[in-house]
Structure 1
């Protein structure tokens, strides 16, 4: 049976049963959910735009870098050919473009001094206690002129030093500028010392006994193994211990007399070098340079393929619908720059019919913005101006590499709002602004949660008070009901 008292209790309830802390958190989160979701989506889009712009910039930079490496280290440099290949080999410095023909006459090759010691019984024979001093300079047939710029090298010999340990000490003390080893022949063991190429790298050996050694008797006996002075050497007429004399290379290039301290000659006209391997006195040989047309064709084929890869990336990333860089000014400018490549003048100082543009090397633009190689035009250029075509592939201020290097740099300029670099900077600022706005929303959401929590806590206290009152009323109702029975 339901009484009027029990109806009142049912209406008032036995308690709130509500988690006010979670309720405050849910309400505050829901209040800012739309703004937060919108900003998060915006951040995701901006990050994709930054990545897309970086991808295009990276592709251009990689293309310019790869082109530079190929010019510096590949086969694009002109090839030098010697009519007499036994005289020298030709080296072209990376990025250089020597031209023309030269007459080369080599009269003398550079050589290093080779010196033998007097014979010893074996490689383990003691050399005697004392000091050896190596002095460097020009060692003539019977004279020596020291090099004042090079300090002498002093080697201390102990009582236990052998011919073998002395060889090691000489090599180490000179830093390898004099290589020493022991060779055992029919006459016994001898110390072999080899210097470096060049007339100024000759050397003499001075030897001295230790200060504690007794003076030589009179008359002094002949020097013998075991006395460090047995190892001393200086140029003298009739000497047989020096088997190789240090000298410079001597040659003529187009009749101009030149010397080199080594057989590796650098700094020649146009950036080429020579490694001298033989002599041809009185019979100059012809050295000629020619561009490598096959290599130019290969690099143009590869360049067209690389450009089409970049165009494909632009088409995907800057597609009007769904492209991360749709309607982006940086992507549009890059597309225009690529379209103008074929007609851009790369060699402003070219004269006559010499190639000046990438179009002269066969680069052609299709209607859809992709590229193709016009082989007929490239072949005409290589047939009529092979050297001029090869000269376009240098790492200097003009030419193919300079054009792509400049394009990559200009595309990445963050201060230019019309470049990809400017776009990236703009996207980055917008991303930072979104992060700041999300941080403010988080602060506002937390403030709302704290306020609601305080209000709900106060409400809960009021509910608790109501429940106490309800409990009292329930007791009274129970008493009244008992009396009615």
Structure 2
């Protein structure tokens, strides 16, 4: 209907009524559309600026957390022979004065036993009961119809909860059962049965399985003190350090020193200054875009006070300002390299503690949060579900959605207005066309009358 009216506008009257409808409709719609478009562009600019600030803050906190978790921000033990020993400092451990000597006499080993070959691991081996004894504790192994095979026996052992693992290993000679216990002499085991059919898969008291390796403890001497442990991973002989012994070398001493993370710390602190200034810049852009939103002002104050926030309980160096980071007049920060070098030289443990804080009964996340925890807390408070930036983002998204709805309603109203114009001008066009027809008829009659009179 609309199309037919539009195509016929002006057809009878001779007037360009289609253009008149377009001009009137556009004159009505254009200022409203422009106003809503500008409002939407403004809100979208605000959303973009706030999103950038939020992304900066989240990335800043996450990168610091990952960096600290990697252990590169604290001193690490340094063995002289890494093929014989590896060592890692526990998170927050202060090991700056570590200097030890270790002699590894024996590694901890797990017991292994294996059976003779069988042709088919799924074939019957005989049913009955077996007893798996580990460190004085017995575990019942029932070989019923569901477990009557080499594969079934392995499954029954694995679900026993004994700590002994069973596997069926196959090669060109067939398949055999291999059992492996846990490390340490106390974890030695036997697998026995009173059923003759199962003796080929028993070890101890008449069983025919073969001992591959006997269980044994690790034995080593650290700083002239002898130790025996049931594992090659040892975390209780050097405070804050986990040792992993890898090779026995009786009579050969391996020294354990310390590698200070001086350069990683210096580089990280320089990077902190750079990233912080980028964050402040984008935060200022978001404040400008939003007309100085209160949430952004609050967050900016929290960032500005971060340099003076206590990050550790050390009496000498507990804040970023103590290592040479200062606030400039424009709100950015800068680093006094000389002050940082002095802190790294005179009190390296305290500088480390700003990044990898000590954790014990007196050093908690409250008293010694460290830079990563403190920044993550600030980030969570701003970007969490009800955080300042999250709430601001929701408000702006809601405002944007409202403008889009206003645009849709405006389009509907203007479309209705255009339809009314088309109808009105269509009626006008028809009337003018009728009048013109009447005029033409009268003119024709006048000519006829005039001719008749002559």
TM range (shorter): 0.7 to 0.9
Q: Distance in 1 between matches of 2:205 and 2:220?
A: 26
Match of 2:360 in 1: none
Is 2:63 the counterpart of 1:66? yes
Match of 2:134 in 1: 138
Q: Structure 1 residues 84 and 470, CA, compared in 2 at 3 Å: closer, same or farther? A: closer
- Kept after mapping to 2: 8 A contact 1:183/1:192: no
Q: CA deviation at 1:359?
A: 1.6
Match of 1:234 in 2: 204
Q: CA deviation at 1:78?
A: 3.1
Q: CA deviation at 1:34?
A: 0.8
SS in 2 for 1:233: coil
Q: Structure 1 residues 147 and 274, CA, compared in 2 at 3 Å: closer, same or farther? A: farther
Match of 2:3 in 1: none
SS in 1 for 2:289: coil
Q: Structure 1 residues 346 and 283, CA, compared in 2 at 3 Å: closer, same or farther? A: same
Q: Distance in 2 between matches of 1:189 and 1:447?
A: 86
Match of 1:392 in 2: 354
Is 2:181 the counterpart of 1:196? yes
1:314-325 map, 5 Å: 314=283, 317=285, 324-325=289-290
SS in 2 for 1:340: helix
SS in 1 for 2:61: helix
- Kept after mapping to 2: 8 A contact 1:170/1:180: no
Q: Distance in 2 between matches of 1:393 and 1:134?
A: 55
Match of 1:40 in 2: 37
Structure 1, unmatched stretches of 5+, are 1-12, 159-165, 210-226
Q: CA deviation at 1:105?
A: 9.0
Match of 2:429 in 1: 460
TM-score by length of 2: 0.73
Q: 1:345 aligns with which of 310, 313, 319?
A: 310
Match of 1:216 in 2: none
Match of 1:28 in 2: 25
SS in 1 for 2:13: coil
- Kept after mapping to 2: 8 A contact 1:135/1:205: yes
- Kept after mapping to 2: 8 A contact 1:53/1:421: no
Q: Distance in 2 between matches of 1:18 and 1:430?
A: 44
SS in 2 for 1:178: strand
Q: Which has the higher helix share?
A: 2
Q: 1:115 aligns with which of 113, 116, 119?
A: 113
1:69-80 map, 5 Å: 69-80=66-77
Q: Structure 1 residues 303 and 264, CA, compared in 2 at 3 Å: closer, same or farther? A: same
Is 2:377 the counterpart of 1:403? no
Q: Distance in 2 between matches of 1:358 and 1:78?
A: 19
Supply the RMSD in Å over aligned alpha carbons: 4.6
Q: 2:93 aligns with which of 92, 97, 115?
A: 97
Q: Structure 1 residues 170 and 366, CA, compared in 2 at 3 Å: closer, same or farther? A: farther
Match of 2:323 in 1: 361
- Kept after mapping to 2: 8 A contact 1:107/1:280: yes
Q: CA deviation at 1:108?
A: 6.5
State the Cα deviation string for residues 208-253 of structure 1 (Å, max 9, x = none): 57xxxxxxxxxxxxxxxxx65334332579x993243345657899
Match of 1:310 in 2: 279
Q: Distance in 2 between matches of 1:131 and 1:267?
A: 46
- Kept after mapping to 2: 8 A contact 1:170/1:179: no
State the Cα deviation string for residues 273-303 of structure 1 (Å, max 9, x = none): 3323367999999877675333222211221
Q: Distance in 1 between matches of 2:211 and 2:234?
A: 26
Structure 2, unmatched stretches of 5+, are 1-9, 159-163, 358-364
Q: 1:293 aligns with which of 262, 287, 304?
A: 262
Q: Distance in 2 between matches of 1:183 and 1:34?
A: 83
Comparing 471-480 with 373-382, greater Cα deviation is found at 471-480
Q: CA deviation at 1:202?
A: 2.8
Comparing 295-304 with 98-107, greater Cα deviation is found at 98-107
SS in 2 for 1:274: strand
Comparing 277-286 with 467-476, greater Cα deviation is found at 277-286
Q: Structure 1 residues 415 and 157, CA, compared in 2 at 3 Å: closer, same or farther? A: closer
Q: 1:379 aligns with which of 305, 322, 341?
A: 341
Higher Cα radius of gyration: 1
- Kept after mapping to 1: 8 A contact 2:50/2:283: no
Q: CA deviation at 1:420?
A: 4.3
Q: Distance in 2 between matches of 1:42 and 1:84?
A: 68
Q: Structure 1 residues 131 and 274, CA, compared in 2 at 3 Å: closer, same or farther? A: farther
Q: CA deviation at 1:54?
A: 0.7
